[in-house]
């Protein structure tokens, strides 16, 4: 019997790492091959899309999606990690009594790059940046391209400013909070963070780890059609599937498309293909 494959939407609680979630899912499901589509800091909560079995090969498509967060920035204090877990490294007393939401939106929307936090999982020479930081090694990370497509202030009750944003892959909210604080001529750090969505998939459809067990996790797999709506969906014939699995192309009239998800009649994902000039070529075979 083939190993179960699919995606689970988990509402990660605060106080555990993304890999802690993966470890717990391994215990629940008995499946060793499990990945996720974007790390959440231990203090953060919210949507973690986990791929089980051969579905891990599709993670790269979901990792590239924009992500939506709500966050709370505390003004007046900067920490070594940019969140509540670090040491205080700077304080400022000039906390504003009010803020202009449109001014902040304009400042944030024009951002083209941000420097990642030194305490992050970003790999440098094969090691995560936080490994250097914890050992006190000087490490200046280069700014990375970012795009903030949506931004709004939710509330301002000094010293805390809450906001929501939709950002591109590689955007660190801790760095964004520090940038917002700088726009207000103040220090700041992130005290709360929740991932509300990845692409068009919201945290409201996720489950807690406590709600999953060995008997129900298969039924909890999230429909791939809903998770990856940017794909064309196609169910190949047995002969076509065999050719594609052998690395051969097949005739498939239609528009050129780099993203075709191959499904069987039960909606299980078989692989990814692309079409060029009415010919379909295999890209990923999942089984």
| Separation CA 187–CA 180 (nearest Å) | 9
Residue 139 near residue 46 (C-beta atoms within 8 A): no
Please confirm whether the linkage preceding 133 is cis (ω < 30° from 0). no
Residue 191 near residue 73 (C-beta atoms within 8 A): yes
- Residue position matching structure tokens 């039960």: 266
Closest CA to 124 of 145, 141, 143: 141
Contacts of 49 (CB under 8 A, 6+ apart): 7, 8, 9, 10, 36, 37, 38, 62, 198, 201, 222, 227
| Separation CA 283–CA 221 (nearest Å) | 23
Helices 101-109 and 173-183: angle between axes, nearest 10 degrees: 130
Residue 178 near residue 78 (C-beta atoms within 8 A): yes
Contacts of 135 (CB under 8 A, 6+ apart): none
Measured distance between the N- and C-terminal CA atoms of the chain, rounded to whole angstroms: 12
Residue 277 falls in the annotated catalytic set: no
- Which residue of the set 11, 41, 66, 83 is catalytic? 41
Q: What angle do CA 104, 38, 154 make, to 5 degrees?
A: 25
> Which residues are catalytic, by number?
41
């Amino acid at each position: 019997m083939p190993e179960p494959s699919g995606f689970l939407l988990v509402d990660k609680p605060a106080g555990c790492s993304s890999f802690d979630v993966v470890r717990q899912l391994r215990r629940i499901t008995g499946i060793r091959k499990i990945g996720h589509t974007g790390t959440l800091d231990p203090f953060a909560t919210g949507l973690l899309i986990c791929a089980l079995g051969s579905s891990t090969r599709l993670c790269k498509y979901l990792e590239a999606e924009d992500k939506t967060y709500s966050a709370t920035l505390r003004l007046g204090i900067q920490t070594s990690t940019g969140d509540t877990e670090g040491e205080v490294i700077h304080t400022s007393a000039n906390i504003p009594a009010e803020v202009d939401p449109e001014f902040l939106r304009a400042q944030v929307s024009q951002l083209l790059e941000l420097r990642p936090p030194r305490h992050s999982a970003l790999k440098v020479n094969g090691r995560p940046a936080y490994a250097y930081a914890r050992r006190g090694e000087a490490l200046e990370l280069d700014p990375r391209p970012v795009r903030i497509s949506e931004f709004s202030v939710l509330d301002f009750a000094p010293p805390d400013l809450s906001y929501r944003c939709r950002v591109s892959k590689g955007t660190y909210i801790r760095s964004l909070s520090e940038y917002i604080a700088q726009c207000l001529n103040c220090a700041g750090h992130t005290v709360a963070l929740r991932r509300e969505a990845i692409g068009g998939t919201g945290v409201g459809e996720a489950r807690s780890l406590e709600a999953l067990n060995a008997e129900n996790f298969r039924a909890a797999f999230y429909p791939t059609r809903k998770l990856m709506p940017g794909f064309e969906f196609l169910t190949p014939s047995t002969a076509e599937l065999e050719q594609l699995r052998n690395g051969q192309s097949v005739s498939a009239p239609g528009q050129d498309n780099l993203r075709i998800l191959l499904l069987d009649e039960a909606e299980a994902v078989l692989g990814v293909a692309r079409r060029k000039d009415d010919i379909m070529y295999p890209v990923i075979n999942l089984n």
